[in-house]
């Protein structure tokens, strides 16, 4: 050590905050030896891992660490001398200046050390009035808290949790007193767990920590930036204060919120960006009875994603969505699909959900039910899309019983309002407002849907229906023209009510489906050509209409047939076969007039054919022919009930083949023709 150093004024301690890079730290006060300097990292004193230089120098020196302390670590350097005297001057002996200076330096340094320690002490101010500084006895202060009386003297008080004793009583009858601490814990905020909400700090861990610790978590107004997916688990609630509570994804590379289980609620938030803003799927359990409400979603790839996922025992069904807007999605606004072997999303309920592209590009659809069985319901929803969209609402191939009620579709381009893919079945559309220039209902399903006040130009399309009473102002039939290029067999699918058929290119067989598969169906077949080729109507696996093959031989011939489930029956036609009855018993015969021709045999004895009174309900307007059909000499006499006969006289048919044709006009039977 030099013979003399200066000990300047100051506190012999210095502190730094490590940055993880700096390894050299200076101390601006002198030390006599290296061991006089104590080094702390945080609260831990260090004895190795560093070197001290500058001992004996008035200006101080430097501590050099072998490795830079970790960033954020407090570094404390202080001079610490033992309070002792190890030298003595002899009586009348020499008094060297160097020795005297060293003793004074040591003494000054020790006094600085004591003064520095005193600065860290809890003490009275220099201007304080005199007060006692004596603490109560040990036995008195044991287990007590230090306090001060009204004049400032030290006293002790029992430890009391003042916060826990503070209580809250809600206004209103029946309210009970509750500790304030308990009351405040009723609603936990993401800010309670360190979320900042300034749109800059990454709040992912803070929000997820809140969801890990509490069942209900509030998101106060602010913009909370996240860099990874938030998980809202079984029975949890994540709710905000409306549009001022923003959860913003740092990018679109990840989903913002997952609901992988059931009975969770997400509401009152604005969500920005994300691959999917909210994804529901059965990863941790059945994804059921979740609720999404009062959300606005901006600039996602997909707004709401419902995924049937991997396990059919953990389906995605009976989830409720209401009052949600998806703005500027780049692919789909709402997407129901399945990425694994699970069940399709089904029985989910959507109400007042709006997808609005605001002229931004969109590569998919407003609503796309790609996979969905059964009964996914969309009520009072809207898709207002740019011209790039595939469809405002699209029902995919693997869907069944999708319900669309009061849907509003709009686009400036030729975007289909509703598109039904091939394979979709039993879609129901009620009250469709189609404001896009594309098809109102673009049907690729083969008509496997029902529409009421929807579509254009036909506003209604009904499947099999039963109507107790129907008043029709204008009845139109769906017609289909059939003309096989080379004739042959044509299997009728009964998709139309009237078939106009040409056999111009060859013989044609129209084959009806089996009657059992078409119960109640009526169909009319009319021939349109004048060729010599045959046109017949048969039944697949059955005898045909009225038990036979029906032939339409001439141009404009037609037949109308109906199935009762057991057979096909002819109910109308322009060239129907005659209907006759044969009677061969002697005596009185009273025909029921259900046949147009009665062949009567008198071979076993004379026969009297008595027609009903001309005014009888079943006789008025009826024409009937009676012909003798045997070779005997026994007569067949035609009379009228009440006396007389046709033209007021009995008519006797005596020769074989003799006949009479008569018609009732209600007043009498009149002969129209007679063969003697």
Q: Are 614 and 640 in contact (CB under 8 A)?
A: yes
Could you tell me the two tokens for 361? 């590009």
Cis peptide before 434 (omega within 30 of 0): no
Could you tell me the two tokens for 84? 């002792």
Residues 92 and 118 placed together within one structural domain of the fold: yes
Residues 526 and 648 placed together within one structural domain of the fold: no
Q: DSSP characters for 398-440?
A: EEES-EEES-EEEESSS--SEEE-TT-BSEEEES-EE-SSS-S
Last residue of a domain, one of 73, 99, 122: 122
pLDDT digits (tens, 9 = 90+) for 583-613: 999 999 999 888 889 999 999 999 999 999 9
Between the CA atoms of 295, 299, 304 and 308, what dihedral angle is there, to the nearest 10 degrees? -150
pLDDT value of residue 165: 66
Q: Are 364 and 396 in contact (CB under 8 A)?
A: no
Could you tell me the two tokens for 236? 């949890």
pLDDT value of residue 477: 86
Question: Could you tell me if residue 416 is inside a domain?
Answer: yes
CA distance 549 to 536: 7
| CATH for 671 | 2.60.120
User: How many H helices and E strands in the chain?
Assistant: 5, 57
Could you tell me the two tokens for 452? 């009421």
Mean pLDDT, all residues of the chain:
92
**Which residues fall within 8 angstroms of residue 421, CB to CB, at 6 or more apart?**
394, 395, 396, 397, 399, 444, 445
pLDDT value of residue 1: 43
Q: Whose CA is closest to 437, among 403, 395, 392? A: 392
Residues 545 and 413 placed together within one structural domain of the fold: no
Q: Could you tell me whether strands 222-226 and 198-202 are parallel, antiparallel, or unpaired per DSSP bridges?
A: parallel
Residues 584 and 569 placed together within one structural domain of the fold: no
Q: Are 482 and 500 in contact (CB under 8 A)?
A: yes
Q: Are 273 and 246 in contact (CB under 8 A)?
A: no
* Radius of gyration (C-alpha) of the chain in whole angstroms: 52
| CATH for 328 | 2.160.20
Question: Could you tell me if residue 527 is inside a domain?
Answer: yes
Q: Are 80 and 113 in contact (CB under 8 A)?
A: yes
Cis peptide before 374 (omega within 30 of 0): yes
Report residues of the chain scoring pLDDT below 70.
Answer: 1-4, 86, 89, 100, 130, 161-165, 575-578
Question: Could you tell me if residue 20 is inside a domain?
Answer: yes
Residues 442 and 496 placed together within one structural domain of the fold: no
Q: Are 565 and 519 in contact (CB under 8 A)?
A: yes
Question: Could you tell me if residue 467 is inside a domain?
Answer: no
Find tokens 């799927």 and name the residue: 281
Domain count, the chain: 4
Q: Are 597 and 580 in contact (CB under 8 A)?
A: yes
**Total Cβ atoms within 10 A of residue 572:** 12
Residues 111 and 232 placed together within one structural domain of the fold: no
Question: Could you tell me if residue 173 is inside a domain?
Answer: no
Largest CA distance in the chain: 192
Residues 669 and 521 placed together within one structural domain of the fold: no
Cα 480 from chain centroid (whole Å): 40
Q: Whose CA is closest to 344, among 376, 392, 390? A: 376
CA distance 47 to 30: 19
Residues 76 and 57 placed together within one structural domain of the fold: yes
Residues 533 and 612 placed together within one structural domain of the fold: no
pLDDT value of residue 121: 76
Question: Could you tell me if residue 168 is inside a domain?
Answer: no
Q: Whose CA is closest to 517, among 567, 449, 560, 479? A: 567
Residues 418 and 343 placed together within one structural domain of the fold: yes
Domain encompassing residue 626: 580-675
pLDDT value of residue 2: 46
**Total Cβ atoms within 10 A of residue 167:** 13
Q: Are 407 and 429 in contact (CB under 8 A)?
A: yes
CA distances from 37 to 26, 32, 114 (A): 12, 9, 15
Q: Are 392 and 373 in contact (CB under 8 A)?
A: no
SS3 call for 51? strand
Question: Could you tell me if residue 135 is inside a domain?
Answer: no
Question: Could you tell me if residue 528 is inside a domain?
Answer: yes
pLDDT digits (tens, 9 = 90+) for 18-77: 999 999 999 999 998 998 899 999 989 998 999 999 998 989 999 999 999 999 999 999
Cis peptide before 367 (omega within 30 of 0): no
**Which residues fall within 8 angstroms of residue 48, CB to CB, at 6 or more apart?**
none
pLDDT value of residue 185: 78
Last residue of a domain, one of 103, 122, 141: 122
Looking at residue 36, the DSSP 8-state letter turns out to be: G
CA distance 324 to 257: 15
- Give the helix/strand (H/E) hosting 587: strand 587-589
Residues 422 and 541 placed together within one structural domain of the fold: no
Residues 563 and 588 placed together within one structural domain of the fold: no
Q: Are 102 and 45 in contact (CB under 8 A)?
A: no
Last residue of a domain, one of 550, 573, 596: 573
Q: Could you tell me whether strands 44-46 and 37-41 are parallel, antiparallel, or unpaired per DSSP bridges?
A: antiparallel
Length of the chain: 676
**Which residues fall within 8 angstroms of residue 517, CB to CB, at 6 or more apart?**
none
Find tokens 């209902």 and name the residue: 441
């Amino acid at each position: 050590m030099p013979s003399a150093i200066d000990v300047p004024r100051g506190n012999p301690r210095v502190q730094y905050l490590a940055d993880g890079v700096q390894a050299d730290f200076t101390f601006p006060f002198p030390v006599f030896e290296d061991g006089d300097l104590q080094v702390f990292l945080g609260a831990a004193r260090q004895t190795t891992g560093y070197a001290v230089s500058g001992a004996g120098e008035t200006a101080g020196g430097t501590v050099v660490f072998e490795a830079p302390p970790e960033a954020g670590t407090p570094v404390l350097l202080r001079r610490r001398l033992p309070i002792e005297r190890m030298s003595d001057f002899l009586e009348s002996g020499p008094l060297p200046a160097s020795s005297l200076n060293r003793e004074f330096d040591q003494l000054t340094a020790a006094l600085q050390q004591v003064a520095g320690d005193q600065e860290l002490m809890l003490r009275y101010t220099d201007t304080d009035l005199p007060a006692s500084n004596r603490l109560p006895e040990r036995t008195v202060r044991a287990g007590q808290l230090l306090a001060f009386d009204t004049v400032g003297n030290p006293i002790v008080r029992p430890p009391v949790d003042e916060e826990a004793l503070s209580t809250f009583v809600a206004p209103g009858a029946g309210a009970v007193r509750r500790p304030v601490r308990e009351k405040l814990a009723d609603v936990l905020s993401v800010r309670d767990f360190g979320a900042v909400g300034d749109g800059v700090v990454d709040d992912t861990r803070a929000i997820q920590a809140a969801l890990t610790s509490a069942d209900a978590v509030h998101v106060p107004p602010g913009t909370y930036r996240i860099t990874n997916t938030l998980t809202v688990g079984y029975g949890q609630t994540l709710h905000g204060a409306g549009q001022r509570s923003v959860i913003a994804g740092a990018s679109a590379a990840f989903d913002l919120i997952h609901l992988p289980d059931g009975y969770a609620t997400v509401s009152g938030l604005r969500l920005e960006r994300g691959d999917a803003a909210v994804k529901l799927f059965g990863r941790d359990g059945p994804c059921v009875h979740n609720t999404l409400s009062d959300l606005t979603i901006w600039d996602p790839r997909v707004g709401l994603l419902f995924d049937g996922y991997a396990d059919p025992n953990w389906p995605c069904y009976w989830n409720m969505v209401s009052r949600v807007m998806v703005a500027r999605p780049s692919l789909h606004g709402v997407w129901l699909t399945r990425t694994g072997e699970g069940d399709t999303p089904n029985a989910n309920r959507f109400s007042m959900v709006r997808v609005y592209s605001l002229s931004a590009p969109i590569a998919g659809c407003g609503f796309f039910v790609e996979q969905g069985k059964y009964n996914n319901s969309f009520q009072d929803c809207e898709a207002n899309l740019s011209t790039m969209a595939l469809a405002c609402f699209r029902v995919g191939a693997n869907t069944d019983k999708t319900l669309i009620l009061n849907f509003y579709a709009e686009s400036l381009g030729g975007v289909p309002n509703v598109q039904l893919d091939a394979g979709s079945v039993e879609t129901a559309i009620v009250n469709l407002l189609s404001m896009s220039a594309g098809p109102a209902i673009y049907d690729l399903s083969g008509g496997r849907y029902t529409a009421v006040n929807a579509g254009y130009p036909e506003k209604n399309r009904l499947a099999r229906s039963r109507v107790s009473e129907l008043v029709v102002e204008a009845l139109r039939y769906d017609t289909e023209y059939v003309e096989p290029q080379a004739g042959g067999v044509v299997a009728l699918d009964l998709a139309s009510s009237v078939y106009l058929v040409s056999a111009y290119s060859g013989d044609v067989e129209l084959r009806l489906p089996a009657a059992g598969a078409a119960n109640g169906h009526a169909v009319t077949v009319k021939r349109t050509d004048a060729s010599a080729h045959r046109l017949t109507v048969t039944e697949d696996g059955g005898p045909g209409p009225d038990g036979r093959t029906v032939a339409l031989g001439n141009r404009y011939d037609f037949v109308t047939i109906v199935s009762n489930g057991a057979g096909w029956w002819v109910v109308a036609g322009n060239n129907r076969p005659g209907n006759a009855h044969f009677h061969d018993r002697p005596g009185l015969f009273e025909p029921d007039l259900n046949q147009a021709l009665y062949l009567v045999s008198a071979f076993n004895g004379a026969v009297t054919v008595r027609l009903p009174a001309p005014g009888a309900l079943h006789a008025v307007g009826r024409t009937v022919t009676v012909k003798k059909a045997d070779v005997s000499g026994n007569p067949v006499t035609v009379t009228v009930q009440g006396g007389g006969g046709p033209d007021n006289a009995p008519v006797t048919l005596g020769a074989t083949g003799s006949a009479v044709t008569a018609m009732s006009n209600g007043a009498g039977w009149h002969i129209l023709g007679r063969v003697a």
